[in-house]
Structure 1
């Protein structure tokens, strides 16, 4: 059972805070974190390196999915092939609910070694796949479980080192996945033409092995490990309306982000644009996502995490509704422009949503709370590619973008409600929260 002092600390963490000041705005707590220094920045670099071939490959998965749709799995529909990538990302997010408590108890090192070995093995096995069930087992199941371990630990460990700069640190860390999502499609574009499927994926596997090895050496925890792990799902957290609304928002954001990442090359093909645009559009998307994961983090530490998240969602929704839906599939220049803006905005969602979640719990329990919220979001990524693929194949590219814009509207409203609940249902425009 928790002591009275622990319960008081838990309340200070923001689960029932409703003051004008943002949760966790406690000077004594802030001073207990390095928020910089050699060890903190080294750990952050290691986390970014680990996310490069894990989340980075998943944000570039559209180039792999479209290749499979036109080669090994050409006899299957876009929806059917979409289930392979959907299960991959679903397991990555959903199993974070299991990894979070394990991180709290055992720390990062052992988990990263196990996850990295599994992820590397999945790449080399993927290179040998020829049938649908091969891809489902090697890429979806083994790859998803392994990615769940390395990505959850890489992100959660930042909460040991950063407090005031946590949004910036999260953005810099997540930029590793954006860099992977930008570079991997360009590599595959060349590798597929010159070496074919098998050696292309093997080369990605060797690259992943190098990144994981470097990351494991650099990442380390700082806070004491929890002696026991309690509930895997902290149901008490959902008693707070602001966390419930944030979970809905994250569900919507992940639904859109991974749907676009997986279906963008197929969207380009159905729009009748040049084949190279399939790879270049993903590079533009993830390059701008890299910028979007860093700069909003700086702004969020100055003006409030929820405030910047709301702003990014509003801007992206306006661009999708006014430009992408009516004009995005007409020419390459317009597509690149709207994809760039979408990439910047969605990059901010990815980096800021976990930091907003961190305002709702104590640092020692961040792994569990992070896993709880993203277990909800996991069902969004499970559905988005099959649903979006079916919609794209049966209607038009414009209808697909319109559908994602509607989902984004739900996410925008949910973030606003979470912020409103955070202020005890007293909306204040100028509060830094």
Structure 2
């Protein structure tokens, strides 16, 4: 068998051998293992079977997809569109804290956990419809799917303006808005990965940061509008703003890959066979456990601030502050993740989400720790949202990515539904801040549980740190 020397340059400019051993050269979509500095002799495989074995080993790390992506061009307009979609979908979910405070005043006989169920229904339905949305997007395409979602979202917000009972809010703000937002959210999270590979995490991070900006804009807008025009017209005005924004997104979010016209409708359904990969299941489980801890701080931090009797400006804008710093957490770590590997970046991300809740919110009894919670945990929580989808794309490839994302979000439903309600039972109904430390402990413990699974998954690929995974 003929031998040859194969070497490549690492990012520092020094030569490193390639072949079947190598750290991923993620800038070009190839893979390599940890290697020594000297050039090594690598045999050229003399059979298809040997080639297949080497290829399988190489694909353990780094980017699974070998082909080049545009890395920009029309993709930048796509990112603007998906950014706006997340602004109007999860941006409103992140806004529910101000609705929680308003509803507790408007419906004083209802408990915090009962009212929080409205907010819990939104992400629950968003994730629950992910499976039928896979079918919808495969059947009519992403742009028409976005149009359907836009109509449902605007309709839901208009319905909120005429609700006068909590059960009506369950239907309008929880279910109807959740369905529309679910269609748009899933579509917006899937399409950027068709345009970017080397910048995959950046693309998803920019998209996800739209929800953070929405979490800054919409709480302030809602509170100002309620003060000036009342609750009904506050929601109607927000709905009128949503309409042109979402219609622009329908045009901007264009898929790169042509839609395959299937001969039988069953071929449009999600590919459940992706669950045969235990590593994908582990990633879904890590996210699903962490989600239990994600929403309680978002839903209850403004209630905590109002009961803490801090400065009115602080309590009124604490949720906006949290979401503002979440923007940095969704973009900046994503840029690093494109360099070091998305799974590598997930480990400190999920760990920090739990750690900061115990460090800052658990002992908080004044304005200083409250602000630190909003600023530092807000940034950390952004990475949790932004890094899982690009990790899925990196580790498992673009083929069947819609199916994987649909199943990934479906398995997060229990945490969305139960997390805030469980946390709400810890909060005292008589006022005061009693029980909020238990909310922080509950959320922190859930993040630690997810982090343990992410660490185990990372080590299953390699125990060496300097590997792009």
Q: Please give the TM-score of this superposition, normalised by the length of structure 1.
A: 0.90
Q: Partners in 1 of 2:141 and 2:333 — Cα distance?
A: 29
Find the counterpart in structure 2 of residue 164 from structure 1. 198
TM-superposed CA distance for 1:76, in Å, is 0.9
Query: Structure 1 residue 57 and structure 2 residue 92: aligned?
Result: yes
Which of the numbers 249, 266, 273 marks the counterpart of 2:286? 249
Identify the range of structure 1 (40-49 vs 257-266) with the bigger mean alpha-carbon deviation. 257-266
Query: Structure 1 residue 319 and structure 2 residue 353: aligned?
Result: no
Query: Structure 1 residue 339 and structure 2 residue 378: aligned?
Result: no
In the alignment, is the contact (CA less than 8 A) between 1:241 and 1:418 conserved in 2?
A: no
Query: Structure 1 residue 296 and structure 2 residue 333: aligned?
Result: yes
Structure number with greater Rg is: 2
- Counterpart secondary structure, 2:362: helix
Query: Structure 1 residue 358 and structure 2 residue 397: aligned?
Result: no
Find the counterpart in structure 1 of residue 219 from structure 2. 185
> Greater helix percent: which structure?
1
**Superimposed CA distance per residue, residues 228-283 of structure 1 (whole angstroms, 9 cap, x where no aligned partner):** 35484543322322212211221133222222212221222343434443431111
In the alignment, is the contact (CA less than 8 A) between 2:293 and 2:443 conserved in 1?
A: yes
In the alignment, is the contact (CA less than 8 A) between 2:298 and 2:319 conserved in 1?
A: yes
Find the counterpart in structure 2 of residue 377 from structure 1. 412
In the alignment, is the contact (CA less than 8 A) between 1:101 and 1:368 conserved in 2?
A: no
Which of the numbers 219, 228, 238 marks the counterpart of 1:204? 238
1:203/1:404 CA distance change after superposition, 3 Å = same
- Counterpart secondary structure, 1:391: coil
In the alignment, is the contact (CA less than 8 A) between 1:259 and 1:381 conserved in 2?
A: no
Find the counterpart in structure 2 of residue 41 from structure 1. 76
- Counterpart secondary structure, 2:396: coil
Q: Partners in 2 of 1:120 and 1:209 — Cα distance?
A: 7
**Superimposed CA distance per residue, residues 71-114 of structure 1 (whole angstroms, 9 cap, x where no aligned partner):** 1x221111111111111210001111221233234321111111
1:209/1:391 CA distance change after superposition, 3 Å = same
1:159/1:270 CA distance change after superposition, 3 Å = same
Which of the numbers 164, 171, 180 marks the counterpart of 1:137? 171
Find the counterpart in structure 2 of residue 262 from structure 1. 299
- Counterpart secondary structure, 1:217: helix
Paired positions, count: 411
Which of the numbers 419, 424, 440 marks the counterpart of 1:401? 440
In the alignment, is the contact (CA less than 8 A) between 1:303 and 1:432 conserved in 2?
A: yes
Alignment gaps of 5+ in structure 1: 1-7
- Deviating above 4 A after TM superposition, structure 1's stretches of 4 or more consecutive aligned residues are 16-20
The structure showing larger relative contact order (alpha-carbon pairs under 8 Å, at least 6 residues apart) is 1
Query: Structure 1 residue 22 and structure 2 residue 58: aligned?
Result: no
TM-superposed CA distance for 1:347, in Å, is 0.5
Which of the numbers 301, 308, 333 marks the counterpart of 2:345? 308
Find the counterpart in structure 1 of residue 314 from structure 2. 277
TM-superposed CA distance for 1:198, in Å, is 0.8
Q: Partners in 2 of 1:354 and 1:234 — Cα distance?
A: 17
Find the counterpart in structure 2 of residue 287 from structure 1. 324
Alignment gaps of 5+ in structure 2: 1-48
Note the aligned Cα RMSD (angstroms).
2.2
Q: Partners in 2 of 1:253 and 1:82 — Cα distance?
A: 18
Q: Partners in 2 of 1:240 and 1:20 — Cα distance?
A: 12
